[in-house]
Amino acid sequence: MGRLQNAVARANSKVSIQLAAGMLATSMILSSLLGLYRERLLNRHYLDDYQLAIDAYTIAFSVPDFMYIILVSGALSVTFIPVFNQRLTAGNKKSAWQLSTSLINFMALTTFVASILIIIFAAQLVNLVAPGLDESGRNLATSMMRVVAVNPFLFAVSTVIASMQQAIGRYTFYALAPMLYNIGIIIGIIFFTEGITLFGWRVFDGGIMGVALGVVLGAILQLLVSSIGLIGLGFDYRFKIYHKNKGFRQVLQLLPPRALDQGADYVTSFVEMNLASRMVDGTIRAYQQASMLHLMPINLIGVSISTAAYPQLTARLAQGRQDLFKRDLQRIMRVIIWLVLPIATITFFARGYVVNFAVEGGYPLIAGLLGILVIGIVFRSVYHIAARSFYAEQDTRTPLYVSIFAIILNIVLAIWFVTKLDSGVYGLAWASIFASIAEVVVLFFIMSRRIPGIFDNIFLHAIARMASATGFMAVITYMNVRALPLTSNDAALVPTLAKFLMITVISFGAYIVFCWLLRLSEVNPIIKRAQKILFSQAS
């Protein structure tokens, strides 16, 4: 047992911010690939043949996900980590562990109550979220919602545990957890949908309810792997809430604004589901799939880099180094923008290929929606680090107010586009884009007042050169897509992937060259690495 603990502790050792970002990006890539495989399996079985079931499945997640997001999710990580880091920096481990154990127990208790309420009122909640579904669809969504209602409880505990590891620079098991969640769902799709038989007795008939069971299995696996990451940290857990702990009280004070910010964002999803449920069957799923695909690069770049950088930003302020905080923030924003600009461009031109990964044979409606939502990749990626700059200063209210403004704008535009302009589900996509642009513009304006010089001429000129390099690359990407069109023979995954990888490699290669010609510093590590490989091979 001791050897196992030592092995886990070594695997979960502290890493640098660069390695942490790489680990998280790798985790995001692998998790995204598993997610695409998961969606491909689901869509193959239900999107064409049983659209009502797949819409019901999508709706079943709405309220449990909302409860997790408003009570835990990003709300906990961005409020907990600064306070936790303050205690560790001051050498007060006892207070840090009391804070952690109090949050685990408090969140577990809160989400347990929320899960019970979801189970009791599932039917009413489904009617509220998707009134346009027929009776069979509502009944199916209600049954699945009662199954996945346990997720907020399981996710709450694993999120606190993961946030502890993130705060002290331990990312190994933190990065593994999301992959296990997708694996659990895939098991549900492949095995549980065929039914479950134990000792000759048929205990479960299968169907799409088996996918819901897989979701719960994935949440359990995620909790288990997160818990393994505690080995070697010296965490002293107690079945107790230390209500007098100042750090715990401070987190509870910071939590409501961020929780409202997170929850308010999700209100838009409820409105979108409500409007989409009144359209033809399959619309809810199509919009959800397009949203998921455009969120993948956002999570891969914006979320992973911001998550890895956040503890360092909080540490800079804890050290009283405002100058280093500003320098690091500028550098991180530049890296994020430099990466997401070409990704968004490639996704736009090659959206047919991207959709084909999730839906075998493609799906024109999803591709059309993705073509609009792809505009938001840049803005939503930058938003994560911009918001975290406020959270690092323990200001959760400013991003909340900005988000409320953006959400109201999004809802008003969505209702107007769909009901007045009769733009259908495409109106939901355009409303989302306009709101995301407005949110970042307002947040940047406030940042420029709070952190003088954050958007200086050097920063703005660099962004302009990145945009120029992206424009030149866009021409090459378009030509590649025209030269390698999707055909009826490309429904299978391998031919689509081969063409997409060729387009991506050529486009990124061109982007690197243009960035080098425009003297962007972000490209220097790649050039140096390439030179090292070439010269080492030549010698």
Each as own residue / partner, the long-range contacts of residues 92-100 (CB below 8 Å, 24 or more positions apart, any chain) are 93/234, 95/245, 95/246, 95/247, 96/247, 97/234, 97/235, 97/236, 97/237, 98/238, 98/242, 98/245, 98/247, 98/248, 99/242, 99/245, 99/247, 99/248, 99/251, 100/160, 100/164, 100/235, 100/237
> Helix, strand, or coil here: 260?
helix
Which are the contacts of 434, defined by CB distance < 8 A and separation ≥ 6? 409, 410, 413
Assigned token pair, 490: 């490309």
What pLDDT shows up at residue 428?
Answer: 96
Cα 149 to chain centroid distance, Å, stands at 20
> Helix, strand, or coil here: 444?
helix
Predicted confidence (pLDDT) at residue 538 exceeds the cutoff of 60 = no
| Confidence grade of residue 136 (pLDDT, cut at 50, 70, 90) | confident
Between residues 497 and 421, the one the model is more confident about: 421
Query: Nearest CA to 55 among 187, 268, 208, 266?
Result: 208
**What's the rounded Cα separation, in Å, for the pair 284 and 270?**
11
Average pLDDT of the residues in 504-531: 88
Q: What does the angle CA 248 – CA 249 – CA 253 come to, to the nearest 5 degrees? A: 120
The 10 Å Cβ neighbour count of residue 191 is 15
Q: Please state the pTM of the whole predicted model.
A: 0.77
> Helix, strand, or coil here: 13?
coil
Query: Nearest CA to 443 among 401, 393, 381, 409?
Result: 401
Give Dmax over CA atoms of the chain in angstroms: 73
Query: Domain extents for the chain?
Result: 51-274
Query: Nearest CA to 222 among 183, 192, 251, 256?
Result: 183
Which are the contacts of 30, defined by CB distance < 8 A and separation ≥ 6? 179
DSSP 115-143: HHHHHHTHHHHHHHH-TTS-HHHHHHHHH
Could you report the per-residue pLDDT of 433-463, keeping only the tens digit for each?
A: 999 999 999 999 999 998 888 898 999 999 9
Could you report the per-residue pLDDT of 472-506, keeping only the tens digit for each?
A: 999 999 999 999 887 766 667 777 888 999 999 99
Predicted confidence (pLDDT) at residue 381 exceeds the cutoff of 80 = yes
Which are the contacts of 129, defined by CB distance < 8 A and separation ≥ 6? 59, 62, 63, 270, 273, 274, 277
Query: Nearest CA to 262 among 146, 94, 391?
Result: 391
Predicted confidence (pLDDT) at residue 81 exceeds the cutoff of 70 = yes
Predicted confidence (pLDDT) at residue 77 exceeds the cutoff of 70 = no
Task: Give me the chain's average pLDDT, please.
Answer: 85
Decide the pairing of beta strands 201-204 and 196-198: antiparallel
Query: Nearest CA to 257 among 413, 158, 387?
Result: 387
Predicted confidence (pLDDT) at residue 204 exceeds the cutoff of 70 = no
The CA dihedral of 273, 279, 281, 287, to the nearest 10 degrees, is -50
Predicted confidence (pLDDT) at residue 231 exceeds the cutoff of 60 = yes
Under a CB-based contact definition with an 8 Å cutoff, are residues 367 and 351 in contact? yes
**What's the rounded Cα separation, in Å, for the pair 106 and 483?**
57
Predicted confidence (pLDDT) at residue 129 exceeds the cutoff of 70 = yes
What pLDDT shows up at residue 536?
Answer: 56
